[in-house]
Amino acid sequence: MSGWSLLESGQTFLGGYGVARSLDDGFLAGRTSTGLLWLCVAAGATLLGGLAVRQVFRGLADLVEPFRDGLMRRAVDQALRAALAEPARADPTAAVSRLTHQTEIARDSFAGLVLTARSFVFTTAGALIGMASLDPALLIVVLPPLLTGLILFLATFPPMAAAQRAYLDADEALSALSGQVAAGLRDVAACGARTRIAAEVGTLIAIEERLSRRLARWAAVRSFALGVAGRLPLVALLAATPLLLKRGLTAGALLGALTYLVQALLPALHALMTAAGTAGTRLLVVLERFTDQGDCPAKAIPTGRPPSESPALLPPALEPPAHPSGQIPAEDTRPAQSASSGRSGRTPAAELRGVTFAYGTGARPVLRELDLTLEDGEHLVVVGPSGIGKSTLTSLLAGILTPDAGSVRVAGTAAGPDGPAHPQLRRALLPQRAYVFSGTVAENLAYFRPDASRADLERATQLLCLEDMVRRLGGLHGRVDPRLLSLGECQQLAVGRAYLSSAPLLLLDEATCHLDPETEARTERVLAARPGTLVLVAHRISSALRADRVLVLDGDRALCAPHATLLTESELYRDLVGRWYHDSESAAQERDRHARRSAARRQESDGRAVRAPLSRLRDQEVRPSRRPA
């Protein structure tokens, strides 16, 4: 490939030199045929340069393909080392991406840089040799601005590459955090984390803005370098033309020098700077994925303080996630006119007065003029048909939703959307979709209470009977993979997190619906014995039997009373209780019928297995032997 590149330098040399000789020795000297001959030489050199470029492309594969093969071997080695060192944390997706997409990006970028750099070097060599052959004074005029621009460009490359790398990492971190926040808006509001989330997202946005401005500044410097190297030599040559002509520079030599600058040097220089600014930066970023540092687990952005702009502290992923995720359950717009009050005494744990809420202007209210008082330490269960407003009630108590009319107060203070500062105003909401992240068991359990001791964690696992699951996961320090947990196991971990929370008001929106009845009953008893107030949207009506009071939302009015009182005063509640028992008995009868059918099939199968040998034996006794006597 070097030999063909030298031929390309010859084409550059003959291009300018032929123009100069055609003017000085041909047209200006009155020899038109000589001038045309030199122009034909220059044109022939152009055709020869095209052939050289073609051969260079053919030889490029011998340089680029081994480079790609080396990257693929390195990617395989990295994946195998990571799988052997930490099998649980090995990332096959990243290895596949390196083997396919990233190696192709590296190969194409490397090929583009090799072609551009090779063309610039040999084109510049041919042009400078041509200028020196025409008149050495041309080099004195052209070289200083050309070298100044090149040095300035090379000086901008390292800081601009670092800024580009940091910008990409910051953008990935912002995208990851934004996706987590968008998926968990409900839990963010329930945990009172709006200010914290806004600060973290705002910090990343500010970092990305600063990095964008830094990139823009370096891009401006690079454009200036391109102007110095690409335009200043031409300006210097034109400015020095009178002096050069006085020293004996011919018109042909001047035109040849202009040809070298305009047709060879400036295009090659522009191509080099453009390729280095795009393909070069991309190649550097991709190659970093193939270094040993790419095998290290991503570091989380520190919370509570602004993260550094260093790319090492701006990962493409956050683990554990900054905030829980959940979905807001859809509610029907059937009205729920209600007026129920609790017991009087000390400052209530929560209080709703004349609360009305509708999803959207003009929609029928889901809750209408609801009055409810929750005493400190009370256990309240909320029941009613699907879509009647049970989840809406918990969202109002958690501060996720703001009532259209009336007031919601927690511990005597208005329940606003921002996170409460006083411990007595904290609330913890567990939605039906339990959130578990890819941290350790201890991190999942202590998420609402980071200062929980090991004894606290062990006590919670014992009370909630989580020992078997925790042991299977590798203990409190075992890693949790949410994809490998059942919905019930996720809910158990989330309930353990709620139990350890210091929030005096605990809200469960069907958060135990995937547990079996026995586990659900034990969980509710443990949570009810916990200090504070428990509000539970019931999945099974049996939860109402364990509550101090039951709130029935029936669409026309709401009643709040103990279970026995509601059986006599609420027709809807009697219907719900009867329906639940009927469904339970039907399910039990169906299980009994299934068990009886299974036993009958097993008995019939055993009978066939016994009868078959006997029938064969009788056939052997009755049928005469066919063997010859």
Boundary (domain end) residue, out of 295, 313, 331: 313
Domain assignment of residue 35, yes or no: no
Render pLDDT for 510-541 as a digit per residue (tens, 0 to 9): 888 888 888 888 988 998 888 889 999 987 88
Cβ neighbours of 405 (radius 10 Å): 14
Boundary (domain end) residue, out of 313, 342, 376: 313
Domain assignment of residue 20, yes or no: no
Instruction: Provide the β-strand partners of residue 533.
Output: 505
Number of structural domains the chain divides into: 3
pLDDT bin (cut points 50, 70, 90) of residue 356 is confident
Inter-axis angle of helices 194-230 and 266-275, nearest 10: 160
pLDDT bin (cut points 50, 70, 90) of residue 296 is very low
Q: Are residues 605 and 528 in the same domain?
A: no
Q: Are residues 446 and 540 in the same domain?
A: yes
Domain assignment of residue 186, yes or no: yes
The length of the chain in residues reads 629
Domain assignment of residue 329, yes or no: no
The pair of structure tokens assigned to 546 is: 């364990």
Q: Are residues 597 and 485 in the same domain?
A: no
Q: Are residues 119 and 178 in the same domain?
A: yes
Q: Are residues 100 and 222 in the same domain?
A: yes
Domain assignment of residue 6, yes or no: no
Structure confidence at residue 598 (pLDDT):
57
CATH assignment at residue 164: 1.20.1560.10
Cβ neighbours of 611 (radius 10 Å): 10
pLDDT bin (cut points 50, 70, 90) of residue 504 is confident
- Kind plus residue range of the DSSP H or E element containing 169: helix 137-183
Boundary (domain end) residue, out of 569, 589, 606: 569
Range of the domain at 237: 66-313
CATH assignment at residue 512: 3.40.50.300
Q: Are residues 161 and 279 in the same domain?
A: yes
The residue among 556 and 613 whose pLDDT is bigger is 556
356 burial (CB, 10 Å; 0-12 / 13-18 / 19+) is middle
Domain assignment of residue 48, yes or no: no
CA dist 137 and 172 (Å) reads 53
All residues at 6 or more sequence positions from 284 whose CB lies less than 8 Å from its CB, including other chains = 161, 165
Domain assignment of residue 178, yes or no: yes
Domain assignment of residue 11, yes or no: no
pLDDT bin (cut points 50, 70, 90) of residue 380 is very high
Render pLDDT for 433-452 as a digit per residue (tens, 0 to 9): 888 888 889 988 988 888 88
Q: Are residues 151 and 173 in the same domain?
A: yes
Q: Are residues 580 and 564 in the same domain?
A: no
Q: Are residues 117 and 224 in the same domain?
A: yes
All residues at 6 or more sequence positions from 428 whose CB lies less than 8 Å from its CB, including other chains = 190, 191, 448, 498, 501, 503, 505, 506, 507
The pair of structure tokens assigned to 318 is: 């956050």
Render pLDDT for 605-626 as a digit per residue (tens, 0 to 9): 555 444 444 444 344 433 444 3
Residue with tokens 């009336």: 406
Q: Are residues 552 and 580 in the same domain?
A: no
Q: Are residues 209 and 254 in the same domain?
A: yes
CA dist 524 and 534 (Å) reads 9
Q: Are residues 239 and 382 in the same domain?
A: no
pLDDT bin (cut points 50, 70, 90) of residue 604 is low
Determine contact, residues 69/106, Cβ cutoff 8 Å.
no
